[in-house]
């Protein structure tokens, strides 16, 4: 897998995205929390997870994460609360992934 998109950058999604990026994948991380996105784009983390900030900083510095949603991915990981997942499935986002 070279291109991966992770929806939800909390306690499950952020470590998952960071480890994929650490192992060479191009990762797009998406979250509804602007503070989380801004913090991650600075190479920092908004959650408490020992050792994770160094992995995120390395991934951001190497450019392993891309700030674009509409790119072709080979894997999509949804790490969301059920109500958010239902909202995405019923929204206009889904046609993007039906290609």
CATH for 32: 3.40.50.720
pLDDT value for 80: 60
CB burial readout 1-26, b (16+ within 10 A) else e: eebbbbbbbeeebbbbbbebbbeebb
pLDDT value for 4: 83
pLDDT value for 84: 57
pLDDT value for 78: 64
pLDDT value for 92: 46
Q: Could you list the residue range(s) of the whole structural domain that residue 75 is in?
A: 3-98
Give every residue of the chain whose pLDDT is below 70, as ranges: 1, 65-99
The number of distinct structural domains making up the chain is 1
- Tokens standing for residue 96: 């993007």
pTM for the full predicted model: 0.71
pLDDT value for 47: 94
pLDDT value for 66: 54
């Amino acid at each position: 897998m070279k291109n991966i998109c992770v929806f939800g950058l909390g306690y499950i999604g952020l470590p998952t995205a960071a480890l994929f990026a650490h192992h060479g994948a191009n990762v797009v991380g998406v979250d509804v929390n602007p503070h989380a996105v801004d913090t991650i784009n600075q190479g920092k983390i908004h959650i408490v997870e020992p050792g994770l900030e160094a992995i995120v900083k390395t991934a951001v510095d190497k450019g392993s994460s891309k700030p674009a949603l509409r790119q072709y991915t080979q894997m999509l990981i949804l790490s969301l609360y059920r109500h958010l997942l239902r909202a995405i499935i019923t929204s206009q986002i889904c046609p993007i992934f039906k290609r």
